[in-house]
Structure 1
Amino acid sequence: MSVTCIRVHDLVSGEADPGGASVVLVDRLWPRGVRKDAFAHDEWCKDAAPSPELRKAFHHGDLDFEEFSERYREELDSGDAAKAVDHLSDLAGGDGLVLAYAAKDTEQNHALVLAEVVRAAAR
């Protein structure tokens, strides 16, 4: 089982290669500056993204990454988000899974938290 996180812009530019893995966009909003026909992906899983309120609080600096991560994990434990995690963990069991995200920060973003949750669910 393989779950990796790659920026959408790196996939579109060819800087990153997903191999044979399923590529799933995990943002609620379409990435800025990316044409829909330029981004080869298998699915767009909006339900796995943070709620608009949580995303805005994090991006506006109201929450640090630790608090954001804790609240995001709580969101992923229920409702449609939990179903999305189950679906993503099923995909990860195949030829691997690439969680595609648009955030510029490659070290503190929701896809990294989601990847940990998906890996734990797939065990």
Structure 2
Amino acid sequence: MVKIKRVYDGRSPEDGYRVLVDLRWPKGVRKESAAIDEWAKILAPSAELLGFFWHNAKKWAAFNARYRAQLNAPSALEALERLSIMAKRGTVTLVYASRDTARNNAAVLKDLLESR
């Protein structure tokens, strides 16, 4: 099972394996309180792509397409496959910092992992 959750919402027992999928560490969050099991920077959108989107809902479709293309890199595909296998055995929670709970990179990753 794959879930997504804001890093600011804190850990819960139902989270399982927690993977931070942001390029930068979230502001104001201590590593201990984030309780992150893995920081998968390889799955985070590039700085260039983040600059393009910057929470502009009108650019969501373009961001989604460009981000999915970015995730076709061999190293990203390898990480996606590993997380997909883990999600079939237990819960994987993709952790992100964005305020937008519907349009963020973790939502795209969740969709990709669930379609594998």
TM over 0.5: yes
> Quick check: 38-47 or 77-86, which moved more?
77-86
Distance 2:49 2:69 in 1: 11
Q: Deviations over 1:46-67 (max 9, x none)?
A: 1011111101111074x61011
1:74 aligned onto 2:69: yes
State the partner residue of 1:6. Answer: 5
Map of 1:105 onto structure 2: 100
Distance change >3 Å, CA 111–CA 20, structure 1 → 2: closer
User: SS at 1:64's partner residue?
Assistant: helix
Residue of structure 2 equivalent to 1:39 = 34
Instruction: Give ranges in structure 1 of 5+ residues lacking alignment.
Output: none
In the comparison of the two structures, how many residue pairs are matched?
A: 116
Which AA in structure 2 matches 1:115? Answer: K
Of the candidates 35, 51, 57, which is equivalent to residue 56 of structure 1? 51
The C-alpha deviation readout for 1:32-79, integer Å capped at 9, x for no partner, is: 010112111211111011111101111074x61011001111111122
CA shift in 2, pair 1:94/1:60, >3 Å = closer
Aligned-residue identity in percent: 40
Q: Secondary structure at the match of 2:14?
A: coil
Stretches of 4+ aligned residues off by more than 4 angstroms: none
Is the contact between residue 3 and residue 15 of structure 2 (CA under 8 Å) also seen in structure 1? no
| Aligned residue identity for 2:42 | D
Q: Who is 1:93 aligned against?
A: 88
| Unpaired stretches in structure 2, ≥5 consecutive residues | none
For residue 20 of structure 2, the aligned residue among 8, 16, 25 is: 25
Q: Summarize the Cα distance change of 1:50–1:73 in structure 2 as closer, same or farther, 3 Å threshold.
A: same
Asked if the contact 1:4–1:97 (Cα under 8 Å) also holds between the matched residues in 2, the reply is yes
